[in-house]
Amino acid sequence: MLADEVDRDRLVETFLQLVSIDSPTGHEEQIGRELEARFTALGCTVSMDDIGNLVAVLPGTRPDTVLLSTHMDTAGTDTGIRPIIEDGVIRTDGTTILGADDKSGIAGCLELLTILESNSEVEHPTLEFVISVGEESGLLGSRQMDLSRLSSTYGFVFDTAGAIGAITYWTPTSVYITATIHGKKAHAGVEPEKGINAVKVAAEAIAAMPLGRIDEETVANIGTITGGEARNIVPGEVTLQGMARSHDQEKLDVQLDAMRSALTEAADRHGATLDFEAEEIYRTYHIDESERPYREAARAIRSMGLEVIPRKSGGGTDGNFFNAHGIACVAMATGMVDEHAASEHIAIEDMVMACKILVTIVTQEPE
């Protein structure tokens, strides 16, 4: 079978080359140019939009067009990544992330193209590779993408951790919360009674707020508090940043209301005012096992002799955005482990197996 043509050494080499190119989120110029050249050299028609998202299209011999989604940015600000191979596992020297999120996904796509190039008789649908920027900054790249550029009707996102064989079919909606409490500044030593202490309002509001794990579907957090000017000034303004996520849209609405109410009530008690913003970053999707991307992924996984692991995830991918706009996608494991941490690593065998599944998905006989 074609999946047997996945070349372990070539795949590892490609991966190592990709992680050696710095691409912390927001700084994707160099990796973007590199990928534009590589996908072009492997037969794709490549276009880059204003913010750097790449779409690479390989014409197929079947009528369908399939979306294959990855992202080129890496989490945080780490640069100078030095990968080390130890006992079949690629990791770093422990000072940076590895960037397997999501360069393992991209390396797999390039290996797929390499295999298709030397097997031109193999039938496959048109492949539409979307390699986004800014994924790690709240899906910034995909959210700004002009979807009229895409012609896929379904697809696969190669960008999750978890055991090989995992299919992420359900993710939460994620909302970013920004609340600013406007109190009133005053001299804390001379006339504190003239002030309205915004820090105190914030403290009361947070203490009254349901946070952490709310229920099986829902989580919420206040992550930062900024405000105040000096120890002898009654603070006039405080800004809170947080987030809430739920797999259930109604439960999320209830949670957001509870957070807003806690703030409003505390502000009212003290005569402060409130600005409250809740910005949806990505929306929940739930792909049923009878839907096409799930079926095809499951068939490819089983043909490798592996078990399908249905996975409900706590986080989003670019796939949330595509699903929200009518392109049904599931997300697949690439072999990455501990993404976003200095302990991030990937077992070569897992990366090879994930790539074999990818090759199988696009070349298996249609149902």
d(CA 8, CA 111): 10
Can you say whether the dihedral through the CA atoms of 178, 184, 185, 189 is positive or negative?
A: negative
| 296 lies in the binding site for Zn ion (CB under 5 A) | no
Shortest distance, CB of residue 137 to Zn ion, whole angstroms?
11
**At a CB cut-off of 8 Å and minimum separation 6, what does 174 contact?**
243, 244, 245, 280, 281, 282, 315, 316
| 344 lies in the binding site for Zn ion (CB under 5 A) | no
Q: How distant, in Å, are the alpha carbons of 190, 201, 225, 230 from that of 234?
A: 11, 12, 16, 8
CB closer to Zn ion out of 135 and 217:
135
Shortest distance, CB of residue 73 to Zn ion, whole angstroms?
9
Place of tokens 């204003």: 50
d(CA 286, CA 257): 24
- Hey, which residues does 246 pair with through a beta bridge? 173, 218
| 318 lies in the binding site for Zn ion (CB under 5 A) | no
CB closer to Zn ion out of 36 and 102:
102
CB closer to Zn ion out of 157 and 274:
157
Which residue in 159, 296, 344, 350 binds Zn ion (CB under 5 A)? 159
| 101 lies in the binding site for Zn ion (CB under 5 A) | yes
Catalytic residue among 28, 36, 135, 350: 135
> What does the chain come to in residues?
367
Specify the pairing of strand 186-187 against strand 233-234.
antiparallel
Residue span binding Zn ion (CB under 5 A) among the ranges 28-36, 112-120, 153-161, 188-196: 153-161
> Cβ distance 342 to 95 under 8 Å?
yes
Q: What does R_g of the chain's alpha carbons equal in angstroms?
A: 24
Residue span binding Zn ion (CB under 5 A) among the ranges 27-35, 93-101, 161-169, 348-356: 93-101
Q: For residue 73, indicate whether it is catalytic.
A: yes
CB closer to Zn ion out of 73 and 237:
73
Shortest distance, CB of residue 340 to Zn ion, whole angstroms?
9
Which residue in 36, 73, 78, 102 binds Zn ion (CB under 5 A)? 102
Residue span binding Zn ion (CB under 5 A) among the ranges 159-167, 191-199, 267-275, 308-316: 159-167
d(CA 308, CA 167): 7
Shortest distance, CB of residue 101 to Zn ion, whole angstroms?
4
Specify the pairing of strand 45-48 against strand 54-58.
antiparallel
Total of residues contacting Zn ion (CB under 5 A): 3
> Hey, which residues are catalytic here?
73, 135
Residues that bind Zn ion (CB under 5 A): 101-102, 159
